[in-house]
Amino acid sequence: MKDHWLKEWGKGKPPSKWVIEIIDDTLSCLEGMTKEEESAIAVLNEELTQKFLKKVKPTSVKNYYTYLHKAVRIHFKDKLTSQNSIYHPTKGISEHFACTLIDTPDDIKAMNLGLQREALDWKQHNVATLEDPELIVNRGRELLEGAIAQYEKEGYSSYAEIGAALALLVGLRPGEILRDAVLIDSSAYTIILSQGQAKTRGKQRSYEMPTLIEADTVLKGYHILRNTFKADKLNDLELESYKNNLRFQVEVNFSEIVPTLSRLNGEKTVNPQRLRAIYDAIAVFYYCPPQVKDFVFIKAINGHEPTPGKADAAMHYLDYQIGDGAIVSAGGQRQGIKLGQPGVKLIERIADKLKKIEQSNEKLADNTHEKALMRFLSHESQATTTEVTQPSITPEVLGLSDDWVKRLQSVMEQTGQTDFKDMVCELVKQEIKFREGMRTRHQGKDFQSMPLSTLKRTRHPEAAAEKMRRAFLAIKYYNSNVATERSQRWYINPNSINKLVGGRFSIISPWCDRHFDEIDSHNQTYELTEGDNRKSVDISEVVQVPEYPTD
């Protein structure tokens, strides 16, 4: 019985001997216990916590409860009854009660969450600068091409050196490089990770990712590594020593040229995780369209999907930014400097989103009365020699509702205007003059640094967009960093944005449509619906949009 669950452990690093002993004892205690025995469950939970704390720090306790839960699922998979199981609403399955009721104590969870937030805040205020990204990329290229040349000449090359190069050039983790990832060709500068991504919670998915050098060189090195280093039969524990060799090569080859990061725990080592963050920063610099936010692009190239209850993982990879010197050398361009070069294409996930936004904007423009009026004005201004009969400007042709016709007729009576067409043309001319003046008046203004109070007084599309963006970020921040449970969080939609910064729904709704992926990702992360906004307080009473941007 004691060995059964361990034999079916599968992927993932197996627990140490002392952990196995604790799990075995716990499984014995759980035999015959029911979910109704609250006191016994609480005592068992406390005893487990104390056993773990004798061996590890509080920050690591949750990892050992994860081991326990996996063992419980294996051990009780064919022994579940109505007395020892609980239905898990998110997963949609029944699990042994120990997977839910025996867990890391709330006080340790709260402490860990506070430490995580402190560490993340430290990271976000201690970003390192890459002044010469080409130097780093070229070091990775030299390392990979040198290993390839050695293999072609001698039939042998260092798996650790190839792995260190791939950690930078394609941003993979050591385990993915050495054993798990399956890479296939996509384009001159992109590949597809078809399977083997780590940290997917059991979900198999593939995604396209850019390479910092030619994809065929990356794939050549990858195939040499896999042909000479056979790790498919190794478990996680056996693979660990080989991963350490890869980490050593990362430090040997990149420590002199990779900027040191300041970390709350004092860590300064250049490791594969740092190279993943550098890969993200350089990939944005090379391939991210200027109109796309860096973290959106990073999520796409790392295959991220929303995970309920988790903060946006992409934020953990924003450790590096491109320095001013590199930006000046690129003609002032901060993103996408290689887009348009031969063989370089935008990854499909981002290209599809941009296409949908463009189609949405075109559809929106086609449906506006302004578009229709401008078409008719264009017809009226054509040379009188044309023999083509243009449609007349009438309320019916323009598609005005009865209410708008009545309002327009009232204005005509007040102004003494009798000709409908002349009235419409005059109104359109005034609107054009107003918009031209507005565009000239606000030309060159930096709306992203403008105070919120000024944005609210400014009639300009970019001012409205910035106002809505800040409202979205304020709700997102509140949900992720202030609220501690679902009942305190707010569903993001046009109505919640309107309550914070005002504005017409005819403007807010299209903005939300254009940013659907970001909004939906956040709402899904916390499993929020419109019903979550039915609270005794208004969102404006608890969520504050700062006067100045904080991002």
* pLDDT above 70 for 342: yes
Residues 6+ apart with CB under 8 A from 151: 157, 224, 228
Residue 82, SS3? Answer: coil
Report if pTM > 0.85.
Answer: no
Strand 190-195 and strand 85-88: the pairing is unpaired
Mean pLDDT of the region 402-409: 76
* pLDDT above 50 for 22: yes
DSSP secondary structure string, 333-345? --S-TTTTSTT--
Structure tokens at 146: 């040198």
Mean pLDDT of the region 109-124: 76
User: Which has more confidence, 420 or 68?
Assistant: 68
Q: What is the pLDDT of residues 144-155, one digit of tens each?
A: 999 999 999 999
Q: Residue 166 and residue 159: Cα distance in Å, rounded? A: 10
Q: What is the pLDDT of residues 493-518, one digit of tens each?
A: 999 999 999 888 888 988 998 899 88
Model confidence at 430, pLDDT cuts 50, 70, 90, reads confident
Model confidence at 316, pLDDT cuts 50, 70, 90, reads low
How high is the pLDDT of residue 116?
A: 74
* pLDDT above 60 for 326: yes
Q: What is the pLDDT of residues 247-298, one digit of tens each?
A: 999 999 999 999 877 665 556 788 998 999 999 999 999 999 988 888 889 9
CA–CA–CA angle 502, 457, 473 (5° rounding): 50
Task: Report the percent of the chain where pLDDT is more than 90.
Answer: 43
What rounded mean pLDDT belongs to the chain? 83
Domains of the chain: 4-104 (no CATH), 129-349 (1.10.443.30), 369-441 (no CATH), 448-542 (no CATH)
Mean pLDDT of the region 451-466: 84
Place of tokens 């997963």: 91
Q: How many CA atoms does the CB half-sphere of 212 hold within 13 Å?
A: 29
Mean pLDDT of the region 218-233: 94
How high is the pLDDT of residue 279?
A: 96
Mean pLDDT of the region 314-324: 75
Model confidence at 123, pLDDT cuts 50, 70, 90, reads low
Q: Residue 49 and residue 22: Cα distance in Å, rounded? A: 11
Give backbone dihedrals phi and psi of 93, rounded to 5 degrees, phi first: -135, 165
How high is the pLDDT of residue 232?
A: 86
Place of tokens 């399977």: 195
